[in-house]
């Protein structure tokens, strides 16, 4: 029993090492400039061990993406729960702005990880599926948030939720990939105003 537990523990540890190594390499070198040997070497495991856990780098990319999906949905749910508790429009605006600043300030690695995602999705059905499912889950959470706030309004909540999601996604891509310099704050405030408009002007 003790031997079996040790094997299970080692399996979990090796998988975690491989995921951490793959993420680091994908962020710093890019998906297409990384190979399985590099991932195994950085993780401190043999290439044979790598293939005991993952078929190829595409599968480990999917595993990382799945982990990101779970964390993103939880973060979105937590955010909407906090926003639901805010009745004052100014408080809502200040809270949303502070959250956005924190996300953008610490999200550069995430952006680098996703640089190749669109291209990978075209050749990897697993990646394509996770991206689509995550998008719909996040939109569904936003839709539920709007319905709770405006349960007595006849509005197409799904379209509003989708617009908020698309704006948020595009803002993150623009701010993290385009040099907007001193216009960053103006960009963020305009975005927050649009989100508040979509959330309050029903």
pLDDT in the model for residue 50: 96
Q: Can you state the angle between helices 57-84 and 89-105, rounded to 10 degrees?
A: 160
Cβ pair 40, 47 in contact under 8 A: yes
State which fold the 1-54 domain adopts: Arc Repressor Mutant, subunit A (1.10.10)
Which residues, other chains included, contact 131 with Cβ-Cβ below 8 Å and sequence gap of 6+?
A: 65, 117, 121
Domains 1-54 and 58-200 agree in fold: no
Residue ranges per structural domain of the chain: 1-54, 58-200
Q: Which of 11-25, 74-88, 140-154, 184-198 has the highest mean pLDDT?
A: 11-25
pLDDT at 126 over 90: yes
- Residues with Cβ within 8 Å of 194's Cβ and at least 6 positions away in sequence, in order, are 167
Q: CATH number of the domain at 58-200, out of 3.40.190.10, 1.10.357.10, 3.30.565.10, 1.10.579.10?
A: 1.10.357.10
Separation of CA 130 from chain center: 11
pLDDT of 186 above 60:
yes
| Greater pLDDT, 104 or 75 | 75
Q: Is the pLDDT of residue 72 over 80?
A: yes
């Amino acid at each position: 029993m003790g031997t079996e537990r040790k094997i299970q523990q080692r399996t979990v540890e090796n998988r975690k090492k491989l995921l951490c190594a793959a993420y680091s390499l994908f962020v710093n070198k890019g998906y297409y400039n990384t190979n399985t040997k590099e991932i195994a070497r950085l993780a401190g495991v043999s290439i044979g061990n790598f293939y005991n856990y993952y078929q190829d780098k595409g599968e480990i990319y999917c595993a990382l993406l799945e982990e990101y999906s779970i964390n993103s949905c939880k973060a979105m749910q937590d955010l909407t729960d906090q926003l639901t508790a805010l009745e004052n429009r100014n408080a809502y605006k200040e809270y949303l702005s502070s959250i956005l600043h924190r996300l953008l300030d610490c999200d550069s690695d995430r952006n680098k990880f996703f640089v190749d995602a669109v291209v990978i999705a075209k050749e990897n059905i697993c990646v394509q599926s996770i991206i689509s499912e995550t998008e719909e889950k996040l939109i569904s959470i936003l839709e539920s948030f709007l319905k709770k706030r405006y349960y007595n309004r006849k509005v197409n909540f799904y379209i509003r939720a989708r617009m908020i999601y698309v704006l948020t996604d595009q803002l993150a891509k623009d701010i993290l990939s385009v040099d907007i310099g001193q216009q960053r704050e103006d960009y963020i405030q305009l975005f927050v105003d649009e989100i508040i408009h979509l959330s309050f002007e029903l």
